[in-house]
Structure 1
Amino acid sequence: MGLFTWLWDWLLYLFWSTEMDVTIVGLQNAGKTSLVRVLAGQDFTLDSIPTVAFNKREVKKGHVSIRCWDLGGQVKFRNMWERYCRDVNAIIFVVDAADRDAIVVAKDELHSLLGHETLEGIPLLVLANKSDVSGKMSVDEVIEGLELKRVVHREISCYGVSAKEETNLEAVLQWLVARSGK
């Protein structure tokens, strides 16, 4: 049975594999890098160092290979977000759901990013990370805080996730895979 499964997976990859690009943005310390590490099958770690410029990592889900561009969230890197979001299958915006004070800045940065004509129509996935922390914002609070209802002309989804507890990460991968052919 193992050989048949391996052969089937190899044939799927060889003849029906799909590649997609996603860009992951958000303010510093939102947990973008930790999220990508866990999605790629690595262990969660608390001692991630801040991303300088960007990291590229590949995540495989079935016959889909997802190239993830994890961009730095510090102010000095935010001006490059738009460049890396062009021509991707989806934009992932990560919010630290435990940092209520940062939601206003996150909203401003998100709306500034989405205001670029070059990004029109690209699906947006908002991830309220750190859902395992007590006192965190609910998904509804994140939607309201980011004013997502103002965003038009694009598909938007929002999930509460935890990179540490691996909460809802399968749903994130399924959402991405569903957009791999677009």
Structure 2
Amino acid sequence: MIAVFWDLGGHASFRSVWHNYYSEVQGVMFVVDSSDAGRMEEAKRTLVDVLGHENLRGVPVLCLANKQDKPNALSVQELSRVFDFEKILGSERPFHVHPCCAIKGQGLEAGVRWLLAEACKVQRKTPTSSI
């Protein structure tokens, strides 16, 4: 299998172009700075907005809880409670919250393997052209 990843960046100024990629998406990897409690609500609102797009209906979601090496980082359980993933993601899509430390390369491979496995299971509707 060939996998293509797009790093779209989370800064607010980049978010306005994210929708241009949604029709090709087979899985979402959402990276959260788990040591930045002050931005959790913003991150949650962003995830809710993104996953509300019709082109992303049913796609699997991997939430990487990054910066687990920081002493003030929220654990996977704490992050799951703050985001209330069951409520915002519902039962229509597979999701997984995985701890990681990107700078040390810890947890990334296991998380990506989960996302790839789930993406292979999902049958997406491909847009049809009307001629």
For residue 73 of structure 1, report the CA deviation from its aligned partner: 1.4
Equivalent position to 1:122, from 48, 56, 59:
59
Listed as ranges, the gaps of 5+ residues in structure 1 are: 1-17, 20-65
Q: Give the secondary structure class of the aligned counterpart of 1:69.
A: coil
Query: Is 1:91 matched with 2:28?
Result: yes
* 1:1-16 alignment runs, 5 A limit: none
Structure 2 letter corresponding to 1:129: N
* Percent pairwise identity: 36
Q: Which has the higher strand share?
A: 1
Q: Pairwise CA RMSD of aligned residues?
A: 1.5
Listed as ranges, the gaps of 5+ residues in structure 2 are: 122-131
Q: Match of 2:5? A: 68
Q: 2: CA distance between counterparts of 1:94 and 1:173?
A: 12
TM-score of the superposition, structure 1-length normalised?
Answer: 0.61
Cα gap change, 1:177 to 1:119, in 2 (>3 Å) = closer
* The structure with more radius of gyration: 1
8 Å contact from structure 2 (residues 94, 118) kept in 1: no
Q: 2: CA distance between counterparts of 1:162 and 1:73?
A: 17
Q: Give the secondary structure class of the aligned counterpart of 1:157.
A: strand
Instruction: Output one character per residue of 1:47-85: Cα deviation in whole Å (capped at 9) or x when no partner.
Output: xxxxxxxxxxxxxxxxxxx21100121111112223323
For residue 86 of structure 1, report the CA deviation from its aligned partner: 2.6
Q: Match of 1:164? A: 103
Runs of 4+ in 1 over 3 A off after TM superposition: none
Cα gap change, 1:74 to 1:111, in 2 (>3 Å) = same
Q: Match of 1:55? A: none
Q: How many residues align?
A: 119
